[in-house]
Copies of this chain bind each other. A is one copy, B any other.
Amino acid sequence: MTQAQTLSKNQQIVLDIIEKANSPLKAYSILFNVQKKGINAPQQIYRALDKLIEMGKIHKIESKNAFVACRSSDCEISKATAFSICENCEMVDEISDTKLSKYLSSFSDKKGTKFKRFNLEFFGLCKKCK
């Protein structure tokens, strides 16, 4: 039984904002949005982001330097993440596809090496933008 993580004040503030957003948020845009709540420095944001990523509550979209809330549960502690990213608008969707996840988690390269973790980013046009 994994104990439900209790979040610290700043972690909760940052997570709330990311969860409410419907597109990936950048660290500094989060910062600007929480200045009324007494958070004034990038460090405070980045520290919260780091912990939230560790806990698997959020993911970083590497190609955008932006952060989204985890909508899945396959990606246990961010070991196996996949996203679809619209090249036109800001839309990002987390892909949770058991087959894909299994295929990639068990993938080994030509030397037989297996990997602990992967991150996959698909690019295309979302429904709206087609």
Whether a CB of chain B sits under 8 angstroms from the CB of A90 is no
Structural contact, A119 and B118, CB atoms closer than 8 A: no
Tell me if A124 and B113 are in contact (CB < 8 A): yes
Query: Residues of A at under 8 Å CB distance from B?
Result: 62-63, 84, 87, 93, 95, 97, 100, 103-104, 107, 109-111, 113-127
Pick the contact of A123: B97, B107, B117 (CB < 8 A).
B117
Is there an interface contact between B63 and A115, defined as CB atoms closer than 8 Å?
no
Q: What residues of B have a CB within 8 angstroms of the CB of A124 in the complex? A: 113-117
Q: What residue of chain B has the Cβ atom nearest to residue A95's Cβ?
A: B109
Separation in Å of the A73 CB from the closest CB of chain B? 16
Distance from A109 Cβ to chain B, minimum over Cβ atoms (Å): 6
